[in-house]
Amino acid sequence: MLCPPPAAPRTPASALTFKPKAPPYSPSGSLPVENMDTSFADLIQEITRECKNRCIEASSDFVAFLVSLVSLSSTYRADDGEDETSNETKILASVIEKLLDQSGPSLATLKLQFHFAKHYRDRESIIKKHRTKLASKTSPLVKEICEVNKLENAREIERLYQKMLVVITLLSGLGNPTIPTILREVAIALQSVLQPSELPRYVTLSKREKEEQLTELVFIVAGIRLFNRDCQRGGEGIDDLPSILQAGMNRTRLSIIQLLELLMEKVYKFTAGVEAAIQSHFYNDCEDGPEFKDILWSIEMLVATRQQEIYVRKLLSDLEICEEEIRSLINRLQNRLIQLHETVKYRTAIPTTQVYPQFIEIAEIWLKLQDEVIVLSYINDMLWQLQSLFPKSLSPHHQSVLERMLQEVEVLTDAERLEQTMGKLIVECGECSLAYPSNDTNFDKINLQFLGFCAWSFVVGKGALIPGNPNIGVAEWAGKCFAFSSVDAARQFGKCPDRFLYAALDIVRERQEYIHLFQLYNDIQIMNRQERLSGEYMPLKIRQDQEVQTEMHVFPTFVDKNYASSLWLHRQRALHLASICQCVTKSTQTSKSHFRTGICLQTSMPKEKEVQTRKDGSTNTKKMKKYIFGLRGRDNNVELIDCAYNK
């Protein structure tokens, strides 16, 4: 490689207020028309010929893009009893009908999506493509230099030296080698590194070593020239890239901001008009409101402006990355030049090991600045093409339709719309699980379906894009997360989430501009493939809420006590009845049968009786005490006297 590797792109910063959360674009997966079979290729050619006959401008790639989207619809899927040819005829008629409506917003959206999917590239791809193109243009001359193995005379040495000067000037991008002053300055810088007398030793090296040394010479010579330019002792043909880039960034940012302001003004108007029309048409059944086709046109215009907004914001994020990279490179260049000035200050001879690495680093920084020029030019080119693909003004009829829809309607910005629902939380959403910013640490990383637009409004409004507010809560159902514009919208969605998901999928299939807007092409294609392999088509479930008034207990209630639901019990009863039918009852009079007579007995019932008992009485008894008589003065004549007394 004769050029340094490109700088790695950085992650763009998140935008303020509501912004559709579009997933990253993959150009290789956005145009899946290369693997079509022969029947689709013939269909594309037939549609292209029909467009030419009707004077419709449509490239074969764009026709293939439309066919790939239209074929995803369940309407154009071939049934078992239907011929494939009739299905292709339906697709052809649908594509032709869409191409005939050149002024329709739906076709404008599809053109935007096709152009962006085909031409948009990330920073790394843009830089790599530019460097590869530059290397391919100089590769014949580089190959010619590296294939020289012997120099016989001074003329050949001079010719090889001139070729090296041209290659070094072209690869460094510092001037035009056809201008003598520039080539002379390059020769002076190269002579300080490689003398013509050293070329015979250079040609004896291997081809790989020659390429490596030539690449090193490109950076060293470029660094010397840039240093001389900073010292104001050279720099012929070298542009002031830092000043050019800063001025270009300011102009590009101003252009993007102006275009974005115009787009957002349209977006706010169409959003307010569509929301008001949906409420009047579906809720109040207002007959004085705009017609349904005007509502559909407004929805298509809203989708088109939102799609353009997403692309413009994508370019704005790329510009912010470019600005950050340019700012960093300019600071690095200034610091390196200051350090190099300190190195060579007041010195007449300097070792090459001290200055050559600094020259190489200066050249690498300058080449990265050149890469930023390419990226900035690409952003401006994409911005101009996006403006040219979308109409700037509305027709008088459509302008009147929009004004009629905005009568007595307050036009709110996305930020004002989010503020209306701040402070509220979704607490009821059926069986869906809820997540809130306060209790989920990874809330910002949640991938919202429909780019963050209200899922319920999308279905009820037949594709209307009403911004959702994730701050009031996010509902999760079937592994997917949904945002809503209001608490009531979440409650309505929670009543039957499957119904709304099926209805949303049906809208996306039938309206091709939603497929790339929501980046659902691969998902729908995989699902169709699974349905085709299984041989079963899963029909959409159509449900509706109905109320029926009934009388309570119209007929008198009857409960059969002998009813049983067990089959075995019925079989047991049947067997019992069958055995009874075969039984016979007989009676016989015997001699002792007259003893069997009835006997009557009279009994008396027990009664409760009371009995008078005797009274309790008590008597006092005498208390017996013993006294010893004659103790004093008498030795053996002791007497015990018992006495009793009443207490």
Residues 169-197 pLDDT 10s: 999 988 888 899 999 999 999 998 989 88
The band of 263, judged by pLDDT with boundaries at 50, 70 and 90, is very high
Please tell me which residue, 545 or 178, carries the higher pLDDT value. Answer: 178
Are 278 and 306 members of one domain?
yes
The band of 164, judged by pLDDT with boundaries at 50, 70 and 90, is very high
The band of 326, judged by pLDDT with boundaries at 50, 70 and 90, is very high
User: Could you report the per-residue pLDDT of 337-376, keeping only the tens digit for each?
Assistant: 999 988 888 777 778 888 899 999 999 999 999 999 999 9
> Taking the CB of residue 377, how many other CB atoms lie within 10 A of it?
14
Q: How far apart are CA 72 and CA 40, in angstroms?
A: 13
- Phi and psi based region of residue 403 (left: phi greater than 0; alpha: psi -120 to 50; beta: remaining): alpha
Q: Given this model, what pLDDT does residue 338 score? A: 92
Q: Given this model, what pLDDT does residue 380 score? A: 94
Are 392 and 283 members of one domain?
yes
Q: Could you give the C-alpha distances from 19 to 15, 247, 248, 484, 497, in angstroms and in order?
A: 7, 28, 26, 14, 25
User: Over the chain, what is the mean pLDDT?
Assistant: 81
- Which of 398, 426, 457 marks a domain boundary? 398
Are 220 and 253 members of one domain?
no
For the ranges 74-83, 287-296, 466-475, 548-557, which has the lowest average pLDDT? 74-83
User: Does residue 376 contact residue 322 with C-beta atoms inside 8 Å?
Assistant: yes
Domain region containing 218: 148-231
- Whether pLDDT at 104 is above 60: yes
Q: Given this model, what pLDDT does residue 353 score? A: 84
Are 346 and 393 members of one domain?
yes
For the ranges 8-22, 34-48, 233-247, which has the lowest average pLDDT? 8-22
* 356 within some domain: yes
- Whether pLDDT at 15 is above 70: no
Counting runs of H as helices and runs of E as strands, what totals does the chain give? 21, 5
Q: Given this model, what pLDDT does residue 584 score? A: 80
Please tell me which residue, 120 or 588, carries the higher pLDDT value. Answer: 120
* Range 316-324 average pLDDT: 94
Are 338 and 468 members of one domain?
no
One-letter identity of residue 213: Q
* 644 within some domain: no
* Range 511-539 average pLDDT: 74
Residue whose structure tokens are 């050949």: 156
* Range 363-391 average pLDDT: 91
Give strand pairing partners of 467. Answer: 453
Proportion of the chain above pLDDT 70, given as a percent: 81
* 568 within some domain: no
* Range 257-270 average pLDDT: 92
Q: Given this model, what pLDDT does residue 83 score? A: 59
* 596 within some domain: no
Rg (the chain; Cα; Å): 49
User: Does residue 406 contact residue 289 with C-beta atoms inside 8 Å?
Assistant: no
- Which of 66, 82, 100 marks a domain boundary? 100
Are 467 and 351 members of one domain?
no
Q: What b/e sequence results for 418-457 when a residue is b if at least 16 CB atoms lie within 10 Å of its CB, and e otherwise?
A: beebeeeebeebeebebbeeeeeeeeeebebbbbbbbbbb
* 348 within some domain: yes
3-state SS string for 149-208:
CCCCCHHHHHHHHHHHHHHHHHHHCCCCCCCHHHHHHHHHHHHCCCCHHHHHHHCCCCHH
- Whether pLDDT at 12 is above 50: no
> Taking the CB of residue 359, how many other CB atoms lie within 10 A of it?
23
Are 382 and 435 members of one domain?
no
Are 178 and 259 members of one domain?
no
Are 269 and 177 members of one domain?
no
- Whether pLDDT at 13 is above 60: no
* 130 within some domain: no
The band of 34, judged by pLDDT with boundaries at 50, 70 and 90, is very low
Looking at the 3D structure of the chain, how many domains does it have?
Answer: 4
Structure-token pair, residue 301: 């215009």
- Whether pLDDT at 167 is above 60: yes
Q: Given this model, what pLDDT does residue 594 score? A: 55
User: Does residue 229 contact residue 182 with C-beta atoms inside 8 Å?
Assistant: no
Are 192 and 69 members of one domain?
no
The band of 639, judged by pLDDT with boundaries at 50, 70 and 90, is low
* 422 within some domain: yes
Q: Could you give the C-alpha distances from 63 to 382, 383, 611, in angstroms and in order?
A: 22, 24, 120
Are 304 and 327 members of one domain?
yes
* Range 90-97 average pLDDT: 85
Proportion of the chain above pLDDT 90, given as a percent: 30
The band of 82, judged by pLDDT with boundaries at 50, 70 and 90, is low
- Whether pLDDT at 546 is above 80: no
- Which of 398, 432, 456 marks a domain boundary? 398
Question: Nearest to residue 25, comparing CAs of 133, 156, 118, 131?
Answer: 118
DSSP one-letter code for 629: E
Strands (E), 361-507: 433-435, 474-477, 480-482
Please tell me which residue, 423 or 545, carries the higher pLDDT value. Answer: 423
Are 154 and 220 members of one domain?
yes
For the ranges 25-29, 324-328, 396-400, 539-543, which has the lowest average pLDDT? 25-29
Name the strand (E) or helix (H) holding 112. helix 105-119
* 364 within some domain: yes
* Range 280-284 average pLDDT: 57
Q: What phi and psi values does residue 628 have, to the nearest 5 degrees?
A: -100, 125
